[in-house]
Structure 1
Amino acid sequence: MFDFPDPDINGRIERVKRNLAPRFDVDLEDPRSDKARGARRIQDAWSFDEDVRAIAANPKVLELLGKLYGRPAFPFQTLNFPVGTQQKAHSDSVHFSSLPERFMCGVWLAMEDVPAEAGPLFYVAGSHRWPIMSNSLIGRRGFGGSLGSAQDPYGPAWEALCRAKNAREETFLARKGQALIWCANLLHGGSRQADTTLTRWSQVTHYFFDDCIYYTPAFSDEALGQLATRDLVAIHDGKPRPNRYLGEEIDKVQPRSEPARIPLTGLMRRLARSWR
């Protein structure tokens, strides 16, 4: 947890709330309205809201993430919420992953003080060190498939891991302007919202790191080389971030009937020829 490093963060937060509030189908200003009904998030508001973009592109956060992960970070997605998600514990690693694995993280920013009744963020302590769930581990094919919820198939496996590890959930009763970094595999979710008249404004920014393959595991079969790769543009500089393996750009996304193939490095090609 850290205080968000922006001297204008309070001003940005208030402008974001004013700009985004009319886009939800509930009166967020009415103290009696049920804030938890209807749509509860806006994805990629950075594309039209400069303050959302500035939060995602904060240079001090990028510098911090680069030091923690050992390679440059770039933001690629934002999510803005007026209330809590009330989601069960889940890992972002089924939505966004990388090769090498775990080069993805989220930064969650509290845009107001969060009381216990507002459905605060929770996380499962230590779960970021656990094995990453994949389709092969839970016994399903992902490549070319479709899902109503990309994370639901993994729920029973996460619950089993929590029982086996005797894991505990910790709640983040954040103050306005505080932020939390979560690693790719950290199980997290939204607590039950006891008072549905309360808001719980927040912003999540998702980051990848340079020189990786970026893909969606829920729709991939890694063991077969079938990857649902992503075509990304960095929010902070507007430049594309191609999929790379050991510094070499891999082919663009393959047709759905073919696996995405990672090119052999020069050394691997020589080894392959020697085995023939």
Structure 2
Amino acid sequence: MTNIFPGLPLIESPIFAALKADWGLNAEEERIATSLYEKGYAVFDFPDIGLEDRIARIQHHLGPRYGVDFSDPGADKTCGERRIQDAWTFDEDVRAIAANQVVIDLLGKLYGRTAFPFQTLNFPVGTQQEAHSDSVHFSSLPERFMCGVWLAMEDIGPDAGPLFYYPGSHHWPIMTNALIGRQGYGSALESAQDPYGPSWRALCDAHGALPETFLARKGQALIWCANLLHGGSRQNNPMLTRWSQVTHYYFNDCIYYTPAFSDEAIGKLAMRDLVAISDGQPRPNQYLGQVVKNPASPEDKNMSWHRRLKACAKKHF
């Protein structure tokens, strides 16, 4: 069947059922695709036969950077740095997880466009972050061509601040500045997602939505759609760790930008200049195959809000 909606990921298409029949998916791919379409997330076993050793090396290499004594079982593991952004730039194992070709190929098949990883975040503990959608941080034109893949690097119990999410919330409206009545371009924010919190909570209340918690086994991974509401549960035991890695992926032939600092209706986009982790090559902003230049002037890029955008990205998750 011809895909008459190429501006939507296949797993978010309104004709998903019809497309799936001619998609050529194997049983596992169909399970993942259906879960993403219906729930906005899917769990799978990360495809890396060397993962056990890779995780051990990451913990050994990154551990000292967090400022916590992980060898002391009685130490408060939450008192140091909670995340390292883009460790792929200096840690080959982090890069290998992000650039796993089986995962990249799977995402490309599910979304209908070639996927590429562009950001990593590594955590020794839970984020304890309120429910939010990635779409205010990382979005695309056309919309929804972004996803996250979260990997558990140890077994995670209920007291370690496990990941939670609201199944089906990816179907809800994508939060934009126009939707909540604020101007984003040039705004000064300490947190890119704070302005949208009341709106997300209102949607949860209106839908009677309840969160589900992911008590992951080591080596399990979870794909989430761009607009899925998710966050980090309260860490009840600060002596526990919650080692994990998130990799964010975009897809080719899109415009990549940050909605929190954009006003789409008047053409003001905080566009992103990206490099693919998988091959180290730039990925140009494109629309229907045509390269779109970043309109931000050198003066714009030196503005405090532009620097704050980068800082907010580092705080995310």
Shared fold per TM-score greater than 0.5: yes
Aligned counterpart in structure 2 of residue 116 of structure 1, from 153, 158, 170 = 158
Aligned counterpart in structure 2 of residue 126 of structure 1, from 159, 168, 175 = 168
**Separation of aligned partners in 2, 1:125 and 1:152:** 22
Aligned counterpart in structure 2 of residue 215 of structure 1, from 246, 254, 257 = 257
**Structure 2 counterpart of 1:141, which letter?**
Q
Q: Is 1:232 the equivalent of 2:274?
A: yes
Q: Quote how far apart the aligned CAs of 1:37 are.
A: 2.0
Q: How does 1:1-276 map to 2 (within 5 A)?
A: 1-255=43-297
**Separation of aligned partners in 1, 2:212 and 2:54:** 28
Q: Quote how far apart the aligned CAs of 1:253 are.
A: 3.2
1:128-181 alpha-carbon deviations (Å, 9 max, x no partner): 111100011111111011211111110000000000011110000000000000
Report the 3-state secondary structure (helix = DSSP H, G, I; strand = E; otherwise coil) of the residue aligned with 1:46.
helix
Report the 3-state secondary structure (helix = DSSP H, G, I; strand = E; otherwise coil) of the residue aligned with 2:159.
helix
**Structure 2 counterpart of 1:43, which letter?**
Q
**Separation of aligned partners in 1, 2:259 and 2:298:** 15
Report the 3-state secondary structure (helix = DSSP H, G, I; strand = E; otherwise coil) of the residue aligned with 1:109.
strand
**Structure 1 counterpart of 2:222, which letter?**
L
Q: Structure 1 92/256 Cα, relative in aligned 2: closer, same or farther at 3 Å?
A: farther
**Separation of aligned partners in 2, 1:26 and 1:111:** 18
Check whether the contact 1:144–1:256 (CA below 8 A) recurs between aligned residues: no
**Separation of aligned partners in 1, 2:205 and 2:211:** 12
Q: Quote how far apart the aligned CAs of 1:38 are.
A: 3.2
**Separation of aligned partners in 2, 1:62 and 1:198:** 31
1:101-127 alpha-carbon deviations (Å, 9 max, x no partner): 000000000000001110100001101
**Separation of aligned partners in 2, 1:255 and 1:145:** 16
Q: Structure 1 135/257 Cα, relative in aligned 2: closer, same or farther at 3 Å?
A: farther
Structure 1 stretches lacking a partner, 5+ long: 259-276
**Structure 2 counterpart of 1:247, which letter?**
G
**Structure whose alpha-carbon radius of gyration is higher:** 1
Check whether the contact 1:120–1:171 (CA below 8 A) recurs between aligned residues: yes
**Structure 2 counterpart of 1:162, which letter?**
C
TM-score (norm 1): 0.92
TM-score (norm 2): 0.80
Check whether the contact 1:81–1:202 (CA below 8 A) recurs between aligned residues: yes
CA-atom RMSD, angstroms? 1.1
Check whether the contact 1:40–1:83 (CA below 8 A) recurs between aligned residues: yes
Report the 3-state secondary structure (helix = DSSP H, G, I; strand = E; otherwise coil) of the residue aligned with 2:296.
coil
Q: Quote how far apart the aligned CAs of 1:255 are.
A: 2.4
Structure 2 stretches lacking a partner, 5+ long: 1-42, 301-317
Check whether the contact 1:77–1:206 (CA below 8 A) recurs between aligned residues: yes
Report the 3-state secondary structure (helix = DSSP H, G, I; strand = E; otherwise coil) of the residue aligned with 1:29.
coil
Identity within the alignment, %: 72
**Separation of aligned partners in 1, 2:262 and 2:70:** 39
Q: Which runs of 4+ in 1 moved over 3 A?
A: none
Q: How many residues align?
A: 258
Q: Quote how far apart the aligned CAs of 1:254 are.
A: 2.5
**Separation of aligned partners in 2, 1:29 and 1:92:** 33
